[in-house]
Structure 1
Amino acid sequence: MVDMKQSTTYTRDRETVISLTQKLVQIESVFRNDGKGNEQEVANYVAEYLRNLNLGIEVHMEEVTPGRPNVIGIIDSKKPGKTLLFEGHTDVVTEGNRDAWTYDPFGAEIIDGRMYGRGTNDTKGNLACMITAVQSILLDQESFTGKIILCIPCDEEGLMLGIKHFIAQDWADGVDGAIICEPEENQVCIAQRGAIRLRVDIYGKMAHGAISWSGINPNWRMARFITEMEKLEKEEQERLGEDPFLKWPSITPTILQAPVLGDAQINVIPDQCMTTLDIRTVPAQNHDELLAKIEAIIARMKKSDPDFKVELTVLDNRPATYTERTNPIVEAVHYAVKNVLKKEPIYNGVPGATDGTFLHVHGIPIVTIGAGDREIPHQINEYVDIEELAETTAIYREAALLFLAGEDQ
């Protein structure tokens, strides 16, 4: 078997992806609430880069919210066949305290084979890989059938407005498989944990802490509710066992606040207590059934305590995903990894949700794979190994050609 890493194509693409990653990272695309930062500049750069290749890529830019556009690139072979989608977002999380960084968070400096900076790992490096892979296919005039869509959305790190808009505008219709370009150490991730985010408000009656019988303390009731959630978590874990890719389902109280409005005082019983639950699920769980179990717990608590007044608000509800190994998109990625890395692929799952969640809900089989240590996203001194960027580019290139080979190839 030919070693792809020794080819002139690999060498050329390696230089291209390193340069492109640096340029993308050097454009700050943190969404800042003060309005001074967003994805507009980096989206403009990507759109112009694709146009200036002069390789026949059809480029669209659509504003999702002010200053936050999606970029869409269409590569049409003009031959009937399947449609492959690559997805990589343009936004990055805040750099936090810049003084805590050893390197400029937007400098994209290369030190000892690693590039440092916000987005090198999550996920501008992989965005550069997918663009470079398609550029490489076109430069080499490789034969393929069907279409390739480059989906480059905004707001993956927030409410995922970009991918929702992309789907709402019908761009995802007719897509046969999608590669989600996220940092997964080039492991073939065929599962993702789901997410339910709940806000729980429990109401009481404000009173003097020394005269507790004159009030209704929501904190006692919240404590009992959280204890019930811990019991439910253990029940779900015992019922389902450990998922081979995603480990354990979980129910995690995160924010706990009382009072919700006004100042807290040690001698005052608050009138309201609020918590948020970050619930992470595995494919074997049904979200409607899980929410029904929580509602049943609340109903039982109300029955035993007439002063138990609670309001439950679902803030987010994203199902877990799973794609069978026999699906054509998984098989294409499998053999691409095997051909490029010269080893059997490692299968895994994504511990959180990605834009791919909504593509999955839309009926598109997804695989998540990309360069970068899985533990590094959102950290100080974020980095990616530059050789891994080159390997990922080659994997994306090979996967596209395998998936779109057509019956006569």
Structure 2
Amino acid sequence: MKLTDPTQTLAALIRCPSVTPQDGGALSTLGSMLSELGFSNERVIFSDTGTPDVDNLYSRLGSGGPHLMFAGHTDVVPVGDSGAWSHGPFDAQVVDGEIYGRGAVDMKGGIACFVSALARLIERKGVPEGSVSLLITGDEEGPSINGTEKLVAHAAARGERWDAAIVGEPTNPDQMGDMIKIGRRGSLSGTLTAEGVQGHVAYPHLADNPLRGMLTLVDGLMHPPIDAGNDRFPPTNLEVTSIDTGNPATNVIPARATARFNVRFNDIWTAESLTDELRGRLEQAAKKTRLRPGRDPVRYTIEFDERTSPSFLTRDEALIETLSAAIAEATGRTPALSTTGGTSDARFIKNYCPVVEFGLVGKTMHMVDERVALSDLESLTGIYELFLERWFASAGER
């Protein structure tokens, strides 16, 4: 395999059926590539109650500073109906200038491009003056319990320190060079239960329909808007994802209704202040009687999930400007600096060093016929190579 060719490195990774939490040989394949470049590799398996064991890889080249981390994951989502794919989801076939396969975009492609960028830089100029590490998990598409969060803590406890990090998730909406993620909104999930009194639909005065109460509570959570956002983040947004009574009958008023919701929030809030805000809204909404005339306040309970992701924003100008300049030179585009989208493993890395995200175009991620243009692989490899060369060169001047 020619490590300077991102198509070849990506094909080798795609051919590993690493559907989370199974490794499928992906970490061994990646570790062999890195060993060829001079990296030392450490495999670490983490476990936790109620979750599958997960294999992880930490690789480092060099021993001194400055120290750059590249983070990502080799696990992929299930393929769905494999018969619906135009080409085998783990065959890595190249057709009409695109390579097909699960993980091509999310995110084996980003890993492949970083490996090839390093191989090119080492071939052209030798090993950078400093250290490069790869922190790769098999748990990003799963519960994210036995992966990056534990791996970065494990490495830090062993004495590893980093000056900056890039996560290679697909960040570009339409074309290479569109966007760098310089932060992420927080994520808070909750379960809301409205209590009622079961009864016959023909005799509603003898019952108390909890769906009326639930609609009142949900309206209170969603209106008025939680905030208007700011110059760093879009407005906080709450989405109800399910409302259920477990009631199969059409002539029975159920005893209770349960709703699940998720809030993606900006840096106006902490998890604590946001939960206080939502509790206050529910307390006020429970007293409203438009859907429940003559009734006492809605009886309800609210539980928030313990695993809340905080919002964060990276302000490291050297990291952001060096990456932006590399993107502009390679693509002719000035990338937007964004905090949109969902959460990523960058939320675990932010506590150890400044972190940004930049990778491929994300249009086909998680889809049938996930694929990436070979020209995009070449573009991302070139961007990473430029960035690596300039970041290490400028580190000595800072």
Smaller-chain TM-score bracket: 0.7 to 0.9
Q: Deviation per CA, 1:133-165, whole angstroms, max 9, x where unpaired?
A: 223333335353332110111211222221111
| One-letter amino acid of the structure 2 residue matched with residue 96 of structure 1 | G
Q: Deviation per CA, 1:336-371, whole angstroms, max 9, x where unpaired?
A: 2233334434433441111001211x1421111112
1:75 to 44, 52, 61: 61
Q: Give the secondary-structure state (helix, strand or coil) at the position aligned to 1:197.
A: strand
Shift of 1:281: 1.8
Which residue does the alignment assign to 2:83?
99
Contact 2:194-2:298 within 8 A present in 1 as well = no
Tell me whether 1:310 sits opposite 2:301 in the alignment.
yes
Shift of 1:276: 1.2
Which residue does the alignment assign to 2:341?
351
| One-letter amino acid of the structure 2 residue matched with residue 195 of structure 1 | S
2:325 to 324, 335, 354: 335
Find the aligned partners of 2:307 and 2:363 in 1 and give their Cα distance. Answer: 24
Give the count of matched residue pairs. Answer: 377
Residues 256 and 375 (structure 1 numbering): CA distance in 2 closer, same or farther, change over 3 Å? farther
Q: Give the secondary-structure state (helix, strand or coil) at the position aligned to 1:170.
A: helix
Structure with the larger helix share: 1
Which residue does the alignment assign to 1:50?
34
Q: Deviation per CA, 1:177-208, whole angstroms, max 9, x where unpaired?
A: 11010112343221322211212222333333
Tell me whether 1:217 sits opposite 2:209 in the alignment.
yes
Find the aligned partners of 1:252 and 1:329 in 2 and give their Cα distance. Answer: 34
1:224-373 to 2 correspondences below 5 Å: 224-232=216-224, 234-237=225-228, 240=229, 247-259=234-246, 264-302=248-286, 305-314=296-305, 316-324=307-315, 327-360=317-350, 362-372=351-361
Find the aligned partners of 1:114 and 1:348 in 2 and give their Cα distance. Answer: 27
2:18 to 29, 54, 76: 29
Contact 1:40-1:67 within 8 A present in 2 as well = no
Find the aligned partners of 1:350 and 1:115 in 2 and give their Cα distance. Answer: 27
Residues 350 and 389 (structure 1 numbering): CA distance in 2 closer, same or farther, change over 3 Å? farther
Tell me whether 1:114 sits opposite 2:98 in the alignment.
yes
Identity across matched positions, percent: 24
1:59 to 41, 47, 50: 41
- How large is the Cα RMSD of the aligned pairs? 2.5
Find the aligned partners of 1:101 and 1:59 in 2 and give their Cα distance. Answer: 35
Contact 1:198-1:276 within 8 A present in 2 as well = yes
Q: TM-score, normalised by structure 2?
A: 0.86
| One-letter amino acid of the structure 2 residue matched with residue 68 of structure 1 | V
Q: Give the secondary-structure state (helix, strand or coil) at the position aligned to 2:162.
A: coil
Q: TM-score, normalised by structure 1?
A: 0.84
2:73 to 78, 83, 89: 89
Find the aligned partners of 2:336 and 2:251 in 1 and give their Cα distance. Answer: 57
